[in-house]
Homo-oligomer: A and B are copies of this chain.
Amino acid sequence: MSKKIVIVGNGTAGASVALAARKADRKAEITILERNSFPTFSKCALPFVIEGKIKEFEDITVFSHKFFRQQKINLVNNAEVAAIDPDAKKVVYTLDGAERAIEYDKLALTTGGYAWQPRTEGDETGNVFVLRDIADGEKIRAVALKSRTGVVNGASFIAGEIAEAFVTRGLKTTMIVRSRMMRTMIDADMSKIVEQHMIDNGVDLIKGETISRVIGNGTVKAVVAGDHEIPCDVLVNSTGVRSDVTLAKSIGLETGTTGGVVVDKSMKTSNGDIYTAGDCAEDRFGLLGFPFVSLLGTVATRQGVVAGQNMVGGKTQVAPFYNAAVIKFFGLQIGSVGMTSDIAEANGMKVEALKVTHTTLPHYFPGGKDVHVKLLADPGTGKLVGAQVLAEETVPETINTLSLAIQNGMTIPQIAMADFCYAPPCADIWAPASIAAQGLGRKLAAKARRAKK
């Protein structure tokens, strides 16, 4: 008999589960229950439709309804899961006002994350948004097009992209940054470069403050942050994403210190017939092994592939992840992999780090762009444990290079002398990462000499 696979949530993780299961088992009955009405879309692309770089929300479809039909994946939209009975292996959901039930052999709870924000006086006012799906995106774009001022509450991925979208749409734009920009991804010295870049591109940054009050009457008119009262026609709160584990908790699945659902390397939860992946899954970081919810689409995809394969009888394990990530604000690519200094310290490691600024091309070749590379090493082993790169180009692939260096446990001296390529119109004779590694190698060696004395 063919296996019954049920997936709750059609985000990046859920869709990856479905497609991997289908690839591995042509006969499985695969059903996805999805609360919203859309095909699988790229959540990461939403800000670019608001900005206008991508024309319409339908353009960011990743897997169309038609493609899922061809793959014999039964996507049920507008299906709100009411209850799960793990003993009867049954999911109860409502659709068109009627209650229905579906049985499963294996269930994936890929319920993703939700936009988390501290409640503030007045934030129930109109034109105050979070951005999680196409419906949110459509509303924000519609309001932004009629607005003169916009405020973004937050300092991370989506916040920076929305700020850029607002500026592009001609809004006077303010970001309220509680600590510093991209704090989970880069160190403080790198944040400074990013923040200056936002300011240079017309964003007003208010740092060290949070929104204490939203002023409006029906729709938002201003926000108050510290001593500032900032005129505001549209407010987007982007202060964080937390794992959505309501369903998981309702059936007693184990959750961890991060708030995510605990999984093993096969992406199985504490219930042997239930898997998860993506923003609601607590995996372990590839370095030091601390529990970590990645929130990245790449990790969700790879976890989803493994979960999907295993749900139809596979025996694969997730590869360790190092949170290789990149983002782009106003032409500046911001990349990171491994641990930041803060994350390392929070997990008991005091890293040795070095930042260099070099260029993408040799000094004699026109058109080179500045590249800032920061490498972080474990002084005990000399191994690379983190890397951060800022530049207008070359960042994603440089991060991938350094990701493989971390994944393979390469030491700083090994990276310094690794075989990297060069040609005057493409790359300098020493890659910026090599130069950073050479400098950090000298710093580590000097430290080791001092320790011996």
- Which chain A residues (395-450) contact chain B, with CB distance < 8 Å? 395-401, 403-405, 407-408, 410, 414, 417-427, 429-431, 433
**C-alpha gap A298/B425 in the complex (Å):** 15
Q: Is A241 an interface residue (CB 8 A)?
A: no
- Which chain A residues (287-306) contact chain B, with CB distance < 8 Å? 296-299, 301-302, 305
**C-alpha gap A105/B217 in the complex (Å):** 86
B contact residues around A299 at 8 Å (CB): 419
Copies of this chain present: 2
Pick the residue among B60, B323, B335, B394 that contacts A419 (CB under 8 A): B323
B contact residues around A319 at 8 Å (CB): 414, 417-419
**C-alpha gap A403/B427 in the complex (Å):** 15
Contact across chains for B365 and A427 when beta carbons are under 8 A apart? no
Q: Sort chain A's interface into a size bin.
A: 35 or more
B contact residues around A215 at 8 Å (CB): none
**C-alpha gap A408/B402 in the complex (Å):** 13
Contact flag A419-B337 (CB < 8 Å), given A45-B364, A365-B54, A393-B393: yes
Q: Is A104 an interface residue (CB 8 A)?
A: no
Q: Is A166 an interface residue (CB 8 A)?
A: no
Closest to A54 in B: B364
- Which chain A residues (70-100) contact chain B, with CB distance < 8 Å? none
Q: Is A42 an interface residue (CB 8 A)?
A: yes
Pick the residue among B286, B405, B425, B431 that contacts A53 (CB under 8 A): B425
**C-alpha gap A12/B428 in the complex (Å):** 13
B contact residues around A114 at 8 Å (CB): none
How close is A402's CB to chain B, nearest CB, in angstroms?
A: 9
Closest to A414 in B: B319
**C-alpha gap A101/B412 in the complex (Å):** 42
Pick the residue among B42, B398, B405 that contacts A364 (CB under 8 A): B42
Which residue, A62, A319, A401, A425, has most C-beta atoms of chain B within 10 A?
A425
Contact across chains for B396 and A298 when beta carbons are under 8 A apart? no
Choose the segment among A31-39, A120-128, A325-333 that binds chain B (4+ C-beta atoms closer than 8 Å).
A325-333
**C-alpha gap A237/B425 in the complex (Å):** 22
Closest to A427 in B: B396
Contact across chains for A48 and B417 when beta carbons are under 8 A apart? no
B contact residues around A333 at 8 Å (CB): 426
Which residue, A286, A324, A419, A433, has most C-beta atoms of chain B within 10 A?
A419
The residues of A with any CB-CB pair to B shorter than 8 Å are 12, 42, 44-45, 48, 53-54, 59-62, 286, 296-299, 301-302, 305, 319-328, 333, 335, 337, 362, 364-366, 393-401, 403-405, 407-408, 410, 414, 417-427, 429-431, 433
